[in-house]
Chain A
Amino acid sequence: MHNTAISLIELGAVFFGLGILGRLAWKIGISPIPLYLVGGLAFGAGGLVPLEGIEGFTELAGEIGVVLLLLLLGLEYSAAELVTGLRRSWLAGVVDLVLNAAPGAVVAFLLGWGPVGALAMAGVTYISSSGIVAKVLGDLGRLGNRETPVVLSILVFEDLAMALYLPILTAVLAGTTLLGGFTAVGISLVVITVVLVIALRFGRYVSMVVDSPEPEVFLLRVLGAALLVAGIASQLQVSAAVGAFLLGIAISGSTAENATKLLEPLRDLFAAIFFVVFGLNTDPRSIPPVLAYAVGLAVLTTLTKLVTGWYAAKRQGIARMGRARAGAALVARGEFSIVIAGLAVAAGAVDEQLAALATAYVLLMAILGPVAARVVEPVARAVQRKVGTPATT
């Protein structure tokens, strides 16, 4: 009885603290993710206040957070949007992939983390945070801009790339051979194709299974289906996250929209716990040794996203200022970088420092992203004036 009381007090304090941090974050115009991570770092091992007795709950809640993050990522775009997005923006998408995955992989090799660590770090630096990007574009009133569809289509491509990448990463983390890796690629390609075809042709049947006019019934069904699929996927060594993500893609139309509306608050709650748990499990003392690498990666991958956006917008005939805006909008990294790092660390197949590097990197990029999107116009204008010739960054 007494233990329950202490657990409730601890949990309440954590949530309330996160609420204050979240409010603060939106007030100064950044994403709350870095502050949640800092919150986690402050507790946990080597931190200020060790939390005891609620680990069982927070660990499981963090897992649910990952499932919900990926489920909502899958729900975000309809199968039709994914397919047209792929057709229209594949070249820009490939440029994005090559330019932004390479720095992470190279740094992992430099640190001697081997191919597995490189694969994980490539994912961490590659994927933009669609949550932060969409929020920033909305806040800055840029949804009507011509470069915005370009930015969104790159996010769509990254979404699809994740569907391929996550099963491969899971297979590699599980310690399969090169041949096993290729088999994983083959299987995931087949699975993605099957899921897309199901979503395009029979999406309404999948939707029918979970849909209900009663919000609470609907909520229970969607959440139940997501956890079931995630659990089964995890049992089959495909990773819970991938299962939830594919379920999200398969649910379509108005069911997907309603599910998003219902699940968003739940996702925010559980994802916040996930970030805190990730921070908790990262020893703050392990960050300083990798800080220089994190800063270097931050600078480099800010530039590579700027180049990506510039190139993609140029292909669509958008003027220089719009190209710079497109690049800056893509800079933010966040939730999915942490999800990838979390998968890698949980599997125990990579260097422990990867968590520290990913934490420091996301801390920087989640703050830098919204700032870059805000300052890009004045900076580009100043550069243009100073040089007299058109700005390049």
Chain B
Amino acid sequence: MVNVEVTPLPGIGTRQDFVARSGRRIGVITYRDGHFDLIVSKHDDPDSCVASIPLTVEESGALANLLGAPQLVALLEEQNREVAGVSTRQLPLAPNSPYDGRTLGDTALRTRTAVSVVAVVRAGTVHPSPRPDFVFRGSDLLITVGTAEGLAKAVDVLENG
């Protein structure tokens, strides 16, 4: 169980952080105007920070995707273990993909590659079982289930249309 500490910073915003098993403090500062800083404490001085990285709302969403999706993939992998030949993978939809701004139906992924999109992770939020009219946006992460061959094809479809 991770114990997240919430500390008010009067006049600035809030700091939320936790101490990781490695002894480093990791967290975010939420400013009053809504932007974030990612903070990581120094190795030799846990009171101070080695980095304080300003993130826009989109950037923090992207980071949340990167950190949140693997957990979902691991969970699905566990569930699909009995089914031989089927694996779960997270496929990124690049911002310049031909399907950025188009629907899941447009990709015809299921017909063309037999791969199912079981969830889409966007800005750290999981959208389970997307319907064919689900509109993709750049830097979405697609959680997909399929055969190795089908998944390889799906990567190509998402990149090149």
Q: Which residues of A contact B (CB under 8 A)?
A: 76-77, 81, 84-85, 130, 134, 141-149, 152-153, 155-156, 257, 261, 318-319, 321-322, 325
Q: How far is the CB of A344 from chain B (nearest CB, A)?
A: 27
A-B contact pairs, 18 of them (CB 8 A): A81-B8, A85-B10, A130-B11, A141-B51, A143-B52, A144-B15, A144-B27, A144-B41, A146-B47, A149-B10, A152-B12, A155-B11, A156-B11, A318-B47, A319-B45, A319-B47, A325-B47, A325-B48
Q: How far is the CB of A182 from chain B (nearest CB, A)?
A: 31
Name the B residues within 8 Å of A147 (CB-CB): 47
Q: Let me know if B7 and A149 touch, CB within 8 A.
A: yes
Map CB proximity to A onto B32-66 as digits: 1 under 8 Å, 0 otherwise.
11000101010001111101100000000000000
Q: Let me know if B45 and A144 touch, CB within 8 A.
A: no
Q: How far is the CA of A384 from the CA of B32 in the complex (A)?
A: 38
Q: How far is the CB of A302 from chain B (nearest CB, A)?
A: 21
Q: Let me know if B15 and A143 touch, CB within 8 A.
A: yes
Map CB proximity to A onto B1-36 as digits: 1 under 8 Å, 0 otherwise.
000000111111001010000000101010011000
CB-nearest residue of chain A to B44: A321
Most chain A CB atoms below 10 A, which of B37, B47, B49:
B47
Other-chain residue from A148, A319, A321, A322 in contact with B9 (beta carbon distance below 8 A): A148
Question: Top 5 A-B pairs ranked by shortest CB distance?
Answer: A144-B39, A322-B47, A141-B52, A146-B47, A81-B10
Q: How far is the CB of A289 from chain B (nearest CB, A)?
A: 38
Name the B residues within 8 Å of A318 (CB-CB): 47
Q: How far is the CA of A143 from the CA of B12 in the complex (A)?
A: 9
Q: How far is the CB of A258 from chain B (nearest CB, A)?
A: 10
Q: How far is the CA of A148 from the CA of B11 in the complex (A)?
A: 12
Given contacts A130-B11, A148-B9, contact A257 B49 (CB under 8 A): no
Q: How far is the CA of A325 from the CA of B48 in the complex (A)?
A: 9
Q: How far is the CB of A166 from chain B (nearest CB, A)?
A: 19
Q: Let me know if B10 and A156 touch, CB within 8 A.
A: yes
Q: Which residues of B contact A (CB under 8 A)?
A: 7-12, 15, 17, 25, 27, 29, 32-33, 37, 39, 41, 45-49, 51-52
Q: Let me know if B8 and A144 touch, CB within 8 A.
A: no
Other-chain residue from B11, B12, B32, B49 in contact with A145 (beta carbon distance below 8 A): B49
Q: Let me know if B10 and A142 touch, CB within 8 A.
A: no
Name the B residues within 8 Å of A257 (CB-CB): 32-33
Q: How far is the CB of B47 from chain A (nearest CB, A)?
A: 4
Name the A residues within 8 Å of B12 (CB-CB): 134, 143, 152
Q: How far is the CA of A147 from the CA of B37 in the complex (A)?
A: 17
Q: How far is the CA of A321 from the CA of B41 in the complex (A)?
A: 14
Name the A residues within 8 Å of B41 (CB-CB): 144
Q: How far is the CB of A22 from chain B (nearest CB, A)?
A: 22
Q: Let me know if A146 and B46 touch, CB within 8 A.
A: yes
Name the B residues within 8 Å of A149 (CB-CB): 7-10, 15
Name the A residues within 8 Å of B32 (CB-CB): 257
Q: How far is the CB of A222 from chain B (nearest CB, A)?
A: 17
Q: Let me know if B9 and A76 touch, CB within 8 A.
A: no
Given contacts A321-B47, A321-B48, contact A144 B10 (CB under 8 A): no
Q: How far is the CB of A134 from chain B (nearest CB, A)?
A: 7
Other-chain residue from A77, A134, A143 in contact with B29 (beta carbon distance below 8 A): A143
Name the A residues within 8 Å of B9 (CB-CB): 143, 148-149, 152
Q: How far is the CA of A143 from the CA of B32 in the complex (A)?
A: 13
Q: Let me know if A322 and B45 touch, CB within 8 A.
A: yes
Other-chain residue from A85, A142, A321 in contact with B49 (beta carbon distance below 8 A): A142
Q: Let me know if A84 and B47 touch, CB within 8 A.
A: no
Q: How far is the CB of A306 from chain B (nearest CB, A)?
A: 17
Name the B residues within 8 Å of A321 (CB-CB): 45, 47-48
Other-chain residue from A144, A152, A325 in contact with B37 (beta carbon distance below 8 A): A144
Q: How far is the CB of A179 from chain B (nearest CB, A)?
A: 36
CB-nearest residue of chain A to B51: A141
CB-nearest residue of chain B to A130: B11
Q: Let me know if A144 and B11 touch, CB within 8 A.
A: no
CB-nearest residue of chain B to A140: B52
Other A-B pairs, 14, CB within 8 Å; known A146-B46, A322-B45? A77-B10, A84-B8, A134-B12, A142-B48, A142-B49, A143-B9, A143-B12, A144-B15, A144-B27, A144-B52, A146-B47, A146-B48, A152-B9, A152-B10
Q: How far is the CB of A96 from chain B (nearest CB, A)?
A: 15
CB-nearest residue of chain A to B15: A144
Q: How far is the CA of A321 from the CA of B46 in the complex (A)?
A: 10
CB-nearest residue of chain B to A138: B12
Q: How far is the CB of B13 from chain A (nearest CB, A)?
A: 9
Name the A residues within 8 Å of B8 (CB-CB): 81, 84, 149
Q: How far is the CB of B29 from chain A (nearest CB, A)?
A: 5
Given contacts A152-B10, A152-B12, A156-B10, contact A145 B33 (CB under 8 A): no
Name the B residues within 8 Å of A141 (CB-CB): 49, 51-52
Name the A residues within 8 Å of B7 (CB-CB): 149
Q: How far is the CA of A143 from the CA of B8 in the complex (A)?
A: 11
Q: How far is the CA of A153 from the CA of B8 in the complex (A)?
A: 10
CB-nearest residue of chain A to B40: A144
